[in-house]
Amino acid sequence: MKVLLQRVVRASVSIDQTVVAAIEHGVVLYVGFGHTDTLAIAEKMAHRCAKARVFSDAEGKLNLNVVQVNGEILSISQFTLLADTASGHRPSFSPAMHPEKAQVLYDHFNTVLSSLVSVKTGRFGDHMVIDQVNDGPVSLLYESEVPHESIVGR
């Protein structure tokens, strides 16, 4: 599972030129699932994202999470986060989970998030146009499994 978290001033998602969800002050989460992801992983990731300290405290340090600043989350399904770009110019999406299975995990992820913070979503599987004003910018990539190569040399 991968989640790209971006702190925003505001964001909205449109489908067929109609805004279906919008937030002010919070984070946008782009969420993708791989073949080995589970409900437990989705739940753990939801807690990590809700508790991510990406907002500044009174001293300007990133010590506050979206809940503490009364922010909102806009959650967008994005299987392209799982793209294999290791070779060539055309990405392979074979690492992404099949849509029917991924939707179950995505719905669970959002249900868990909603128990912690206000969450709005796009529509799973639809073509969406995202309009967002990044704040900072602050962007973090959360992964359920860290590839072996990324921990070599630590």
- Per-residue pLDDT tens, the chain, 154 aa: give them: 999 999 999 999 999 999 999 999 999 999 999 999 999 999 999 999 999 999 999 999 999 999 999 999 999 999 999 999 999 899 999 999 999 999 999 999 999 999 999 999 999 989 999 999 999 999 999 999 755 444 444 4
CA angle 65, 67, 68 (to 5 degrees): 70
Task: In whole angstroms, give the CA distance from residue 154 to residue 152.
Answer: 6
Q: Model pTM greater than 0.85?
A: yes
Residue entry with tokens 């799982």: 82
Q: Where would I find the beta strands (DSSP E) of the chain?
A: 2-15, 18-32, 55-56, 62-64, 72-77, 118-121, 129-143
Instruction: State the pLDDT at residue 152.
Output: 42
Active site residues: 78-80
Query: Do 27 and 50 touch, CB atoms closer than 8 A?
Result: no
Instruction: State the pLDDT at residue 150.
Output: 43
Task: In whole angstroms, give the CA distance from residue 103 to residue 90.
Answer: 25
Using DSSP, state whether 92 is helix, strand or coil.
Answer: strand
Instruction: State the pLDDT at residue 146.
Output: 54
Query: Do 64 and 57 touch, CB atoms closer than 8 A?
Result: yes
We find that the CATH architecture of domain 2-143 is: 3-Layer(bba) Sandwich (3.50)
Instruction: State the pLDDT at residue 145.
Output: 74
Extents of the domains making up the chain: 2-143
